[in-house]
Structure 1
Amino acid sequence: MALEGIDLTVAPGERIAIIGPSGAGKTTLIGLLNATVVATEGRVRALGCDYATAGARRTRAAQGRIGTIHQQFDLVDQLRTVHNVNAGRLSRWPFWKAVLSLMQAHDVRSVRAALDRVGIGDKINERTGTLSGGEKQRVAIARVLVQQPVAILADEPIASLDPVRGRQIIDLLLTLSNEAGVTLITSLHDVDIALSCFERIVGLRAGRVIFDRHRKDLSDTEIEEIYLLEPAVVGR
């Protein structure tokens, strides 16, 4: 989905929920913020880096400070959990260390600490493909933890989870963000969780920001309107 007329400023440490129907542009917005999607117009600046003018090295440095949790987790099922978590350090490791880490795990103590933090420390040597969806989501979060980012982007992090586990994951992300003072931007389909857990709500529809306000200033009507189906166009 192409975005148009987007003008957002995010302060350090803010926690923001992005809501809107499928195809509204939520994933594209996340991609622009971490420079995996390139803007064809306008400017995107993150952590002092203007992606439009920065070179490849400076852009990679900014990306290394932004942890992203993708909808599909982006884990390698054939690898053990310890290796998938250590992938969060690849931007800081020299090439030789990254290659060697696939044969012999490095920094195991901090990996275990991150997995303990998300409640699955006992899965450190499990092949990731054998884990449940909720456990894989926690591995993805642990990978971000070892990265030690200053901002976390979570793209539909609970889309494949049941409501109870989904709420646990959001609570965990908010706790981690609060403890470390990390900026958290999360796209969500679950409006109830967005409104109950986040103070700033950004509503997208058809690539445009429809509202960007504190949750207490939003009406039910405004929220319902961004999910209304577009009227059908009937050909002659």
Structure 2
Amino acid sequence: MKKITSLLFCFLVLSAFSQSKSTGDISLGSNFTANFTLNNDTSKVTLVLSGPSDRWFGLGLGVQSGFGMQDGDVLVYTTALSDRNYVGYAAPATDSSQNWSTVSNTVATGVRTLTLERDLTNSDSNDFQLPYASTNSIDLAWARSGSISTSLANHGGNRGFASGTFSTLGVEDFSLNATSIYPNPASGAFYIKTRTNLSKVKLYNQTGSLVKTIDVMDDAREVTVDVNGMQSGVYLLELQNDSEKSWKKVIVN
């Protein structure tokens, strides 16, 4: 009985931590991807959307192949993100309620990467709803300008369809080891995003010389590191807080 109880306890603990599921990167064409993560604990969906930095691009949610743009939820990036809905062959109409927030917006080597967030479900009839328990896959329609332009217009045949399947993520790592560095390689600046408090960042060059020290205010979890004027090459990051230390590598172009 004790063994069964212990196994049940372990299962419940693991289940409690496994409250996120993700599609991984869904390919939408050259330099164009979407990655959805649903978090049941926060009731949020995170979308990492990457597309060309020199033109507008759009993503329709819950849209199957053969879709004729008569209706549906769509996100469009021109010079800023807008939450819209398909109304036919005209430009998608802007929703009165803009429910997606932009967490980050970075450009590197011709690719714009947007990290976006929204509630899994809401009362907006124009939004595609993503209830955690019943959302196991998603169909997508995508489009982008056929030429360099941020003015929303006909996609010129640059469109397509894709789908993704959600897989439950394992126990999340909330240590400094799970820190994300992006973009990497970096030019001008890069960003450090942690899942725990960060108090200090030290940057070393390949010879081991200390190049820069950053004291992080208020134990923040996101830090911007300016690398303007630094020589190109591989650098080592030392990340610190009160209880641990971790090392990451970043390439500066």
> TM-score by structure 2 length?
0.25
Q: Which structure: greater helix fraction? A: 1
In terms of fraction of residues, the more strand-rich structure is 2
Report which of the two structures shows the higher radius of gyration computed on alpha carbons: 2
TM-score between the two structures when normalised by the length of structure 1:
0.26
Task: Name the structure, 1 or 2, with higher relative contact order (CA <8 Å, separation 6+).
Answer: 1
